[in-house]
Structure 1
Amino acid sequence: MFIEQMNTKKFNFILYLPIPLGFMFLMIVNYISSQGMDTEKVIHDLINQIGVNLAFVLLVGPLSFACLFLLFWVKVLHQQSIRSLTTSRPRVDWGRILFSFFLWAFITIVMVSLAYFANPENFHVNFQPVPFFTFLILAVLLIPLQTSFEEYFFRGYLMQGIGVVTKSRLWPFLITSVLFGVMHIANPEVGKMGYIIMVYYIGTGFFLGILTLMDEGLELALGFHAANNLIGALLITSDWSAFQTHSILKDLSEPSAGFDVILPVVIIFPILLFIFSKKYKWSGWKEKLTGQIPENNENQFNKIEENV
């Protein structure tokens, strides 16, 4: 029912196109630019000029602002409530967001702790109170907006729009999952580890797509994504990652793409899907992931009007 939220007579394909086309154009430009420059060196030079925290703001700020712009576009131009872009439920379920956030935050903390105690020589304790807590404030303000933009764009706006056009759940699931992974192709991690890391990025896209379609809303994906980026940025950084921060630990090891890249996709994500499916009693997997979209949904969904 989540995709059908946009399937009303108010859907305007012309107004829908500028956001995805503009974003795709920026992705292509970003990728082409990354092929002609050393992304890692560019980030280091920026940090040397303005400092870690301000560089973080400049790198994350645009996507944080883009989240607000996207919500404005949906609310004002499409006249679609933010609630309907977020969930098929009568109201946004903050309990789902928080459960997903704290579950993945806990798992992330455990995994980083195990890695540290298993090979302490690979890490440097990077904690400095003033820079860390300054970064903490910036991260709490900006990272949830940055991750929310990615979720609202890929699993919300793009998934709903493609679903309306194709009358299918499978096509938006496949397209948005792959595009989410491809969006990260210009990250410095790709240059260091090779394209094998795209398995992780695209696999994460499929995982978040399943969460959205099976749970009929973005809440679980929003919570997971925020925890992944926020807790990760606070716990650990490295000289070769996209996020270089005043984190607690700094990874000194030489990056390599091995089983640790595949592990989340083939083991951890399926376990999380099992946990979520049991807790929220998911059913009808085939229909929710590959089923068809009804022709028009206005009468069914416009019964709930919210000025969110």
Structure 2
Amino acid sequence: MYIDQINNKKFNFILYLPIPLVFLGLIVVNFFATKDVNVEDIMQEMIETFGRNLTFAIAVGQLAICLVILLFWVKFIHGQSIRSLTTSRKKIDWKRIFFSFTIWGIFVAISTLILYFLSPENFQINFDPVKFLPFLIIAILLIPLQTSFEEYFFRGYLMQGIGVVTKSRLIPLIITSVTFGLMHIANPEVGKLGPIIMVYYIGSGFFMGIMTLMDEGLELALGFHAANNLIGALLVTADWTAFQTHSILKDVSEPSAGFDVLFPVLVIFPILLFIFGRKYKWTNWKEKLTGKVYEYSPEIENINTIGNDNE
């Protein structure tokens, strides 16, 4: 139902194209413009010029603006409701968003504490209340907008548009997950940790895409993504990450990647899918992930009703 609900005669493929072409084009241009440049040096120059908080606000604020543009385009150019871009339910289920945010936020906080107590030599206490409080306000205001844009664009706009065009659920799941991962290819983490970090980025895309298709809406993905970026940015920073912030801790260890990158994708994400599946009574996995997209009619509202209750 999440994709099917926009598969009707009003869907205009020509109007659909400009947003993904412009955004994905900017990603490609940015990649080739920075592939021979040390992104870490650029970040340090910006921090020296503007300070950490303003540099962070500029970086995150760009995607917050993109969210406004995307929602305007959907609402006034396509004539599609924001509710239908968000969910197949009759209204956005905020309980789902907060449940997903809470469960992942707690996991990020606990795992950070465990790492700190197991290897305290890898961290420095970075907490400065005078600098942290403005950062906290900026982060709470902007990070949910940044992550919401990425969800509305990849798991929303692209997922629905590609699904309608291909009449498939699997094809948009694959395309949006891979492109979501590739969007991060210019991040300084890739240069420091190597290509293996792309497994995490692309795996995260698949995880949130599966959640969206199985739950027939973006709510769980919106909550998860916001918690991942917000709680992570508040707790830990490092000189080689995309977000260099006035966080509570600073990671001073030599960056490396191995099974710790694969562990969330291979272990934690499947466990979360199991938890969400049990809570929201997901069924018919094969059809929802690989089945066809049907032309919308009132009758198909009964095809995928599981998970549309507001638990």
> Shared fold (TM-score greater than 0.5)?
yes
Mapped partners of 2:37, 2:61: distance in 1? 22
Partner of 1:271: 271
Partner of 1:161: 161
Unaligned runs of 5+ in 2: 302-311
Mapped partners of 2:243, 2:200: distance in 1? 17
SS of 1:195's equivalent? coil
Shift of 1:301: 8.4
Shift of 1:206: 0.3
CA 1:299–1:283: 2 relative to 1, 3 Å: closer
Give the conservation status (yes or no) of the 8 Å contact 1:9–1:298. Answer: no
Partner of 2:220: 220
Q: Deviations over 1:100-155 (max 9, x none)?
A: 00000000001000000000011000000011010010001100000000000000
Partner of 1:197: 197
Mapped partners of 2:226, 2:297: distance in 1? 32
What letter is aligned with 2:25? F
Partner of 1:284: 284
Shift of 1:300: 5.6
What letter is aligned with 1:261? V
Mapped partners of 1:83, 1:300: distance in 2? 20
Q: Deviations over 1:165-209 (max 9, x none)?
A: 000001001100111001000000000011010000000000000
SS of 2:124's equivalent? strand
Q: What does 1:1-308 correspond to in 2, within 5 Å?
A: 1-294=1-294, 296-297=295-296, 299=298
After TM superposition, the structure 1 stretch with the greater mean CA deviation from structure 2, 1-10 or 35-44, is: 1-10
Give the conservation status (yes or no) of the 8 Å contact 1:8–1:297. Answer: yes
Mapped partners of 1:99, 1:301: distance in 2? 28
What is the aligned residue count? Answer: 301
CA 1:112–1:38: 2 relative to 1, 3 Å: same
TM-score, scaled to structure 1:
0.96
RMSD, aligned CA: 1.1
Mapped partners of 2:33, 2:115: distance in 1? 34
Partner of 1:305: none
Mapped partners of 1:35, 1:190: distance in 2? 11
Mapped partners of 2:298, 2:78: distance in 1? 17
What letter is aligned with 2:65? F
Shift of 1:5: 2.3
Give the conservation status (yes or no) of the 8 Å contact 1:5–1:85. Answer: no
What letter is aligned with 1:125? I
Partner of 1:306: none
Identity among equivalent positions (%) equals: 66
Unaligned runs of 5+ in 1: 303-308
TM-score, scaled to structure 2:
0.95
